[in-house]
């Protein structure tokens, strides 16, 4: 804020309040701020004046504001492919949905099937392969569980979704069924 025709000026406090002593011959003050239209405010002579002012935004000036970042932008976070709900929910799904093959139960087969697959950019599971086998029936059940299971969230690298390889192990234990 500046007193017109005088060398008096001030700045606002953090809450927007200000105080300005104006010499006697001054009859108006000019209020201005970056991004707002300047405003002339007439003053009454020989009185202490408390003003409440509101400035009008200057959209033209605001369009001309340029922000400059001085420090380097943070690197995008890399995120691996993840089943919807996270791995604890995925383990619970496996436990709840596993249908132990009858032939494997009769043959007393148990073990852990290890699968590899790719989670595509749209979250679909593709190219499923069995890396560690237990039996044909158990391996088939493990692949069914993966294909019918929860959707996957794709991996993110450099701020973009990418296809990403994943390995999981699915345990088959006789004591649990």
pTM over 0.85: no
List the one residue out of 120, 122, 116, 117 whose CA is nearest residue 163.
Answer: 120
Helix (H, G, I), strand (E, B) or coil at 152: strand
Distance CA 37, CA 60 (A): 10
Distance CA 153, CA 129 (A): 19
Every domain of the chain and the residues it spans: 1-67, 82-176
Distance CA 146, CA 114 (A): 11
Write down the pLDDT at residue 16.
Answer: 67
- Pick the residue with more confidence: 4 or 122? 122
pLDDT(50) > 70: no
Quote the mean pLDDT of the chain: 83
Write down the pLDDT at residue 28.
Answer: 77
CATH code of the region 82-176: 3.30.2420.10
Task: Give residue 51's pLDDT band: very low, low, confident or very high (50, 70, 90).
Answer: low
| Overall average pLDDT of the 59-73 stretch | 67
Q: Are 153 and 123 in contact (CB under 8 A)?
A: yes
Burial (Cβ within 10 Å: 0-12, 13-18, ≥19) of residue 77: exposed
pLDDT digits (tens, 9 = 90+) for 123-162: 999 999 999 999 999 999 999 999 999 999 999 998 889 9
pLDDT digits (tens, 9 = 90+) for 84-121: 989 999 999 999 999 999 999 999 999 999 999 999 99
Q: Are 40 and 30 in contact (CB under 8 A)?
A: yes
- Pick the residue with more confidence: 97 or 52? 97
């Amino acid at each position: 804020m500046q007193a017109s025709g005088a060398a008096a000026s001030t700045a606002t406090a953090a809450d927007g309040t200000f105080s300005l002593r104006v010499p006697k011959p001054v009859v108006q003050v000019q209020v201005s701020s970056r991004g707002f239209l300047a405003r002339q405010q007439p003053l009454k002579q020989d009185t202490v004046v408390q003003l409440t002012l509101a400035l009008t935004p200057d959209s033209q000036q605001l369009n001309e504001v340029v922000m400059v970042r001085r420090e380097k932008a943070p690197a995008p976070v890399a995120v691996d492919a993840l089943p919807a709900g996270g791995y604890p929910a995925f383990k619970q799904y496996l436990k709840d949905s596993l249908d132990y093959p009858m032939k494997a139960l009769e043959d007393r087969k148990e073990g852990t099937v290890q699968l590899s697959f790719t989670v595509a950019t749209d979250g679909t599971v593709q190219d499923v392969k069995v890396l560690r086998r237990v039996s044909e029936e158990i391996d088939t059940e493990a692949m069914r569980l993966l294909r019918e299971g929860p959707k996957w969230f794709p991996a993110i690298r450099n701020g973009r979704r990418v296809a990403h390889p994943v390995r999981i192990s699915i345990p088959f234990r006789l004591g649990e069924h």
